[in-house]
Amino acid sequence: MTIKNLVSGLLTVLLLSCNSTKKESQIEQSNSNIKIVGAMKNVMWRGQLGSSINLDTISDKKGLYGLGPESYLTGELLINDGKSYVSRVTSDSTMTVEKNFNVSAPFFVSANVDEWTEIEIPSNIKTIQDLEKFINEKTTEFKRPFVFKLTGKISKAIIHIQNLPEGTKVSSPDEAHQGQINYRLKDDEVEIVGFFSTDHKGVFTHHNSFLHMHLITKDEKKMGHLDELEIKNMKLYLPKK
């Protein structure tokens, strides 16, 4: 290889690197309302289970929404309109849900919303997959990622709570989900807080979804990560642009 070719190659690599950094910066600036700390893939594959953020350090709690797992995968976290909830397993059929900002997460996504736009969900939208497609089609002009919420009645749902045994080492999703407990809900009034992104798989959404959602029942006695859903009568709320 000649010196000329070597210099040319190095300049190309440097230029690509600068463009990549610029692109990442632009994405961050265009979606500055969304705050992301840590990454799901680092928890699942690298075993980074400890705290990346303490929720009580979030200064602006007005209209705050957020979700993630509890540090060391011992529960699920949800912030719904400035109120912070943590759910933990007590048995295969029971859980505790308490209001508490004095908790931490290995990864967490949050946003502040002052005003929402209410959208009726058509009767043919029933499942998470239906909802993902519907939201995607309704938000082509939105800055992404963004937070959304749903309120109303479900026909049924499955939520889970992480319950990793103390001291467990994690290097794969299967290991991370040890101790996870699933809970079935039926004919409940609920609120669902979710985050949508086509670009954050492995960061705050799973590899096969654009959505990450946590559900809490109206009586605040059940809360967890939403895995399956059958909508009965719900409304969708998107942040006003």
Q: What is the largest CA-CA distance in the chain?
A: 72
CB 112 within 8 A of CB 63: yes
Q: Cα(224)–Cα(193) distance, rounded to whole angstroms?
A: 11
Q: What is the pLDDT of residue 201?
A: 64
Where does the pLDDT of residue 160 fall: very low under 50, low under 70, confident under 90, or very high at 90 and above?
very high
Is the model more confident about 228 or about 241? 228
DSSP symbols for the chain: --HHHHHHHHHHHHHHHHHHHHHHHHHHHHTTT-EEES-HHHHHHH---S-SEEGGG----TTEEEEEEPGGG-SEEEEETTEEEEEEESSSS-EEEEE-SS-EESSEEEEE-S-EEEEEPPTT--SHHHHHHHHHHHTTTS-SSEEEEEEEEEEEEEEEE--PPTT---SSHHHHTTT-EEEEEES-EEEEEEEE-SS-BTTTB-TT-SEEEEEEETTSS-EEEEEEEEEEEEEEEEE--
Q: What is the pLDDT of residue 7?
A: 39
Q: Cα(117)–Cα(148) distance, rounded to whole angstroms?
A: 10
Where does the pLDDT of residue 192 fall: very low under 50, low under 70, confident under 90, or very high at 90 and above?
very high
Could you tell me the domains of the chain? Answer: 35-239 (3.30.1330.80)
Average per-residue pLDDT for the chain: 86
pLDDT tens-digit map of 34-84: 999 998 888 888 888 999 999 999 999 999 999 999 999 999 999 999 999
Q: Cα(30)–Cα(155) distance, rounded to whole angstroms?
A: 37
pLDDT-above-70 percentage for the chain: 83
pLDDT tens-digit map of 115-154: 999 999 999 999 999 999 999 999 888 888 999 999 999 9
pTM: 0.84
